[in-house]
Amino acid sequence: MQYLRKLDEIEARYEELNHLLADVQVIADPERYRKTAKAAAEIEAIVAKYRDWRRVTRDLEEARALLAESDPGLREMAEEEVDRLTPERGRLEEELHLLLLPKDPNDEKNVVLEIRAGTGGDEASLFAAEIFRMYSRFAESQRWKVEITSASESGIGGFKEVLALISGGKVYSKLKYESGVHRVQRVPETEAQGRVHTSAVTVAVLPEADEVEVVIDERKDLRIDTFCSSGPGGQSVNTTYSAVRITHLPTGLVVSCQDEKSQIKNKAKALRVLRSRLLEMELEKQQAQIGAERRSMVRTGDRSEKIRTYNFPQNRLTDHRIGLTLYQLDHIMDGNLDPVIDALTAYYQAEKLKEQAEAGAIVAAD
C-alpha cells in the first residue's frame, strides 16, 4: 500500500500532540491548548483508520498463514477469515485514500447563502422561499445558526431574493456543491387547468471570508449609507436609520442589511457578506489564472443552466451533474438533504482520487 511512510508520520505527530495536551505548560496556556487540541482532532480520524487497517492486515496475514495447516478444521476457519478480512482491508484502504486527499481550505468555514428567483415570475419566488426553508431546516438538523442578512419579499409570500449567514461546524464542506440553478416543475396554485409549469431559482454558497483574507480600508474603499428599515419590525420601522447599505468603491459591489434594529449590527453583517463576495471574486481570479476547474456559480438563472430538478408531480429530485434520481422529494424539501449531499461528496471525492491516480501514473511514466 502507498503512503505508509506518510501515515506513520501522521501517527507520530498525533502521539506528539497528545503528549503536549497532557503538558502542564500547555494546559496553562488556553490559546496554545486550543490550537494543539484542534491539530490533534484534525488527524484523529486518519490515525484511527490507519490503526484499524494495521489490525486487519495483521489478522489477515495470520489467517493466510493458517491455510498451510494440515488440520482441515483450521484451514476452513482460516479460509472464512481470509474471505471476511480481504474486502474489509480493501474498504479501509479506500477510506484512508479519501482521508489523505488534500483538504479544501474553506471546508471549515461558515457560508453566505444567496437565493434568487430566476425565470418563472411569482412561482419562482415561491420556490425560492421553499428552497430557503429547506436549507434552514437542514441547518437546524446540523445545529447550525441561520441569520437572514437581507430579504426582498414578493407580494404572495415568496422571496425575490434572500441572503443569509450560516455558521457552525463544517458548513461549507456540506453546502459547497449546492451552487447553481435549481429548476422546479409543478402545477402552480394559480393554474386553473392543472398544467405543469417550470420555474428556476439560483443558489450561491460563498465561504465566509476572514478579515485577514480580505483587506478593506473603510475610509477609502467604502461608502456607507443609512436609511429607514422597511417591512415588519415594530415601532422603529421607518423611524430610525438602522438599515445600512455598503458600496465597495473599487469593485462597485453593493450590500444592504436591515435585519437588525441596531445600525451597528446591520453594518457588521453587511461587512461579513461583502468580505465573502470579495473573497469569492479573488478565488475565481486565482482559479482562472492557474487553469483549475472553476467553481460553477450561478449565472443568469435560466432554466437551461440547471444543476438539479425538483419534480413535484413525480415526487422526484434529479441532480444532473451526477445522474442521481431520488423519489423522496417531500422528505428532501423538509430538510433531509443528507442523501443528496452524501452522494455529491462521494462523487467528487472519487473524481479527486481518479485525478490523483492519473497524476501518479504520469509521474511514474516520467
In this prediction, residue 239 carries a pLDDT of 55
Cα angle: 253, vertex 115, 268; to 5 degrees:
50
Q: Name the architecture of domain 111-212+295-350.
A: 2-Layer Sandwich (3.30)
Lay out the sheet containing 253-257: strands in order across: 222-227, 243-248, 253-257
Name the pTM for this structure.
0.66
In this prediction, residue 359 carries a pLDDT of 57
Weakest-pLDDT range from 85-89, 113-117, 123-127, 258-262:
258-262
In this prediction, residue 154 carries a pLDDT of 84
pLDDT digits 0-9 by tens, 170-203: 899 999 999 999 999 998 876 667 788 899 999 9
Return the higher-pLDDT residue of 2 and 275: 275
What is d(CA 199, CA 192) in angstroms, rounded to the nearest whole number? Answer: 17
In this prediction, residue 101 carries a pLDDT of 77
Question: Which fold does the domain 218-288 belong to in CATH?
Answer: Double Stranded RNA Binding Domain (3.30.160)
pLDDT digits 0-9 by tens, 285-324: 755 643 333 344 444 444 446 899 999 999 999 999 999 9
| Nearest to 324, CA basis, from 300, 307, 305 | 307
Return the higher-pLDDT residue of 136 and 365: 136
Confidence class for position 1, pLDDT limits 50, 70, 90: low
The tally of CA atoms less than 13 A away on the side-chain side of residue 172 is 17
Longest dimension (CA), the chain: 93
Lay out the sheet containing 145-153: strands in order across: 145-153, 159-167, 111-117, 197-207, 180-186, 306-311, 316-319, 324-326
Weakest-pLDDT range from 107-116, 120-129, 349-358:
349-358
pLDDT greater than 60 at residue 232: no
Domain spans, the chain: 4-99, 111-212+295-350, 218-288
DSSP states of 132-191:
HHHHHHHHHHTT-EEEEEEEEE-TTS-EEEEEEEEESTTHHHHHGGG-EEEEEEE--TT-
β-strand pairing of 180-186 with 197-207: antiparallel
In this prediction, residue 97 carries a pLDDT of 80
CATH topology agreement for domains 111-212+295-350 and 218-288: no
Confidence class for position 235, pLDDT limits 50, 70, 90: very low
What are the cell numbers at 128? 425560492
Q: Name the architecture of domain 4-99.
A: Up-down Bundle (1.20)
In this prediction, residue 297 carries a pLDDT of 45
In the chain, which ranges are continuous DSSP H helix? Answer: 4-21, 24-27, 30-66, 72-99, 122-141, 171-175, 218-221, 263-290, 329-333, 338-365
In this prediction, residue 286 carries a pLDDT of 58
